[in-house]
């Protein structure tokens, strides 16, 4: 039994062999819990003020537009500047946005336009932060440890997504929304300290020539020529736009399930419980040969789980486990897609392509919030959930038929990118080798 558990359990080698990755991971582990508190507090505050699921979806629109506007530029910056220094700047700026939300809430001045504006500012900074963070990881761990590093990142994120909603529910109920924002501000200190202890992550010299516009175009041109990489983005967009009803959680908790703020926290936490479980049991992912095929299967399971969640009507305790199942399939898909992507990229393009990945990963759910809120307004909440689940599974099947190369993708035959330079994984002391 122990041997079998070791076979499927997540590989922690990357944490043991790389001090820099360990610091980055630990700092984010603390700050991300605070971020999750704000992620719950902001839409809750908007719904309390407006009593509208459409307004909650509109909040996501103010997040996704800056993300689309700044992510590609952030990716280009990540390829020409010291990535550690860039992360330090973004963490300080993100702490400042949380401080502004806390101050306004404590002062009793919370017009919707102000919440939307600060949320948009935070999303703009995150558009610079996340591509840099993703591009840094392959410089910190050996190439063969990439899948496990992404799985460990998923464990960190999903643990925070579980703890964050629970903490947020208690804070919102007992101390108020302003305290929730203040806690987020304080937790950024851990990430800043960890980054100060890390060694620099200098840019690749080859990526420094030319204008930023030309650099962005180079990354997009490379991506356009890679149908398998494009497929990893399309299948995620399909699943998140149609199949993730997060914008409906406040309405589901308060109007359909009638479980209040405590139940709202459980709705937000359930997919992350599944994702954490899936990440802890992700040891098998690095051994998968046909990763495209496995990704398609995981998205189909996701769609089926969300559809069943919607079909169960107002039976809260029967419906909740299907969000857990959906979370398990989603994290497996995420690790598979990230591994396919990073195995195929030269280091000098990691920032720019990681920016596109971040736009997809963050933009998809926010576009999904808009889609779910709009469909719920035109029809009803449960129809929005059910139709979205069906469409996400159907989209995965269509992709498998339309892009046979993705279905046939074999991780054992993929070659190291010809453009990879000396800063790539496995080539220096920061790789832990």
- Give, in order, the Cα–Cα distances in Å from 79 to each of 107, 175, 214, 222, 426: 41, 42, 13, 15, 19
Neighbours of 258 (CB within 10 A): 11
pLDDT for the residue 210 = 58
The number of residues making up the chain comes to: 433
Q: Which two tokens stand for residue 251?
A: 């309405």
Whether 411 shows a pLDDT value over 80: the answer reads no
Whether 207 shows a pLDDT value over 70: the answer reads no
Rounded to the nearest integer, the mean pLDDT of the chain is: 82
Whether 420 shows a pLDDT value over 50: the answer reads no
Whether 254 shows a pLDDT value over 50: the answer reads yes
pTM for this entry: 0.68
pLDDT for the residue 7 = 58
Q: Give the residue among 165, 140, 166, 167 at the shortest CA–CA distance from 153.
A: 140
- Give, in order, the Cα–Cα distances in Å from 331 to each of 93, 234, 335: 29, 16, 6
Task: Give the separation between CA 55 and CA 107, rounded to whole angstroms.
Answer: 22
In the DSSP assignment, the letter for residue 283 is G
Whether 427 shows a pLDDT value over 60: the answer reads no
Q: Which residues make Cβ contacts (< 8 Å) with residue 154, sequence separation at least 6?
A: 275, 276, 278, 279, 282, 331, 334, 335
- Structural domains of the chain ordered from first start: 12-413 (1.20.1250.20)
8 A C-beta contact, residue 322 and residue 270: no
Q: What is the mean pLDDT of residues 2-19?
A: 72
Percent of the chain with pLDDT over 70: 90
**What is the per-residue pLDDT across 342-372, written as a single tens digit (0 to 9) for each?**
777 777 777 788 788 777 887 788 788 888 8
Q: Which residue has the higher pLDDT, 398 or 341?
A: 398
Neighbours of 221 (CB within 10 A): 9
Whether 90 shows a pLDDT value over 90: the answer reads yes
Q: What is the mean pLDDT of residues 389-408?
A: 91
User: Using only C-alpha atoms, what is the Rg of the chain?
Assistant: 21
Block residue for tokens 């857990």: 324
């Amino acid at each position: 039994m122990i041997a079998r558990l070791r076979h499927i359990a997540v590989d922690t080698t990357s944490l043991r062999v790389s001090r820099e990755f360990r610091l980055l991971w630990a700092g984010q582990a603390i700050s991300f819990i605070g971020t999750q508190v704000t992620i719950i507090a902001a839409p809750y505050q908007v719904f309390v003020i407006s009593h509208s699921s459409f307004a909650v979806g509109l909040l996501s629109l103010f997040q996704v537009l800056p993300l689309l506007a700044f992510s590609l530029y952030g990716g280009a910056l990540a390829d020409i500047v010291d990535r550690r220094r860039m992360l330090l700047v973004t963490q300080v700026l993100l702490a400042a946005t949380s401080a502004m939300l806390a101050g306004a809430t404590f002062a009793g001045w919370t017009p919707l336009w102000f919440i939307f504006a600060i949320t948009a500012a935070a999303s703009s900074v995150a558009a610079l932060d996340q591509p840099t963070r993703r591009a840094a990881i392959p410089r910190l761990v050996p190439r063969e440890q990439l899948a496990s590093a992404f799985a460990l990142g998923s464990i960190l994120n999903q643990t925070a997504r579980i703890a964050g909603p629970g903490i947020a529910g208690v804070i919102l109920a007992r101390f108020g929304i302003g305290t929730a924002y203040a806690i987020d501000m304080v937790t950024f200190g851990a990430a800043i300290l960890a980054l100060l202890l890390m060694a620099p992550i200098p840019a690749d010299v080859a990526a420094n020539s030319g204008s930023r516009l030309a650099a962005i175009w180079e990354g997009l041109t490379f991506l356009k020529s890679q149908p398998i990489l494009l497929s990893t983005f399309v299948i995620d967009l399909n699943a998140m736009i149609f199949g993730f009803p997060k914008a409906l959680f406040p309405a589901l908790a308060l109007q359909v399930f009638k479980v209040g703020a405590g139940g709202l926290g459980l709705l937000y936490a359930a997919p992350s419980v599944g994702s954490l479980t899936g990440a802890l049991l992700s040891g098998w992912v690095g051994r998968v040969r046909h990763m495209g095929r496995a990704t398609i299967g995981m998205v189909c399971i996701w769609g089926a789980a969300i559809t069943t969640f919607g079909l169960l009507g107002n039976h809260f305790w029967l419906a909740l486990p299907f969000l857990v199942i959906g979370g398990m399939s989603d994290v497996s898909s995420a690790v598979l897609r990230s591994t396919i992507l990073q195995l195929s990229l030269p280091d000098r393009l990691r920032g720019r392509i990681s920016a596109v990945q971040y736009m997809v990963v963050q933009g998809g759910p926010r576009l999904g919030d808009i889609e779910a809120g709009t469909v719920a307004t035109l029809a009803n909440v449960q129809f929005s959930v059910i139709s979205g689940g069906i469409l996400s599974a159907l989209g995965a099947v269509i992709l498998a038929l339309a892009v046979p190369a993705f279905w046939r993708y074999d991780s054992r035959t993929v070659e190291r990118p010809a453009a990879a330079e000396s800063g790539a994984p496995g080539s220096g002391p920061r790789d832990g080798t």
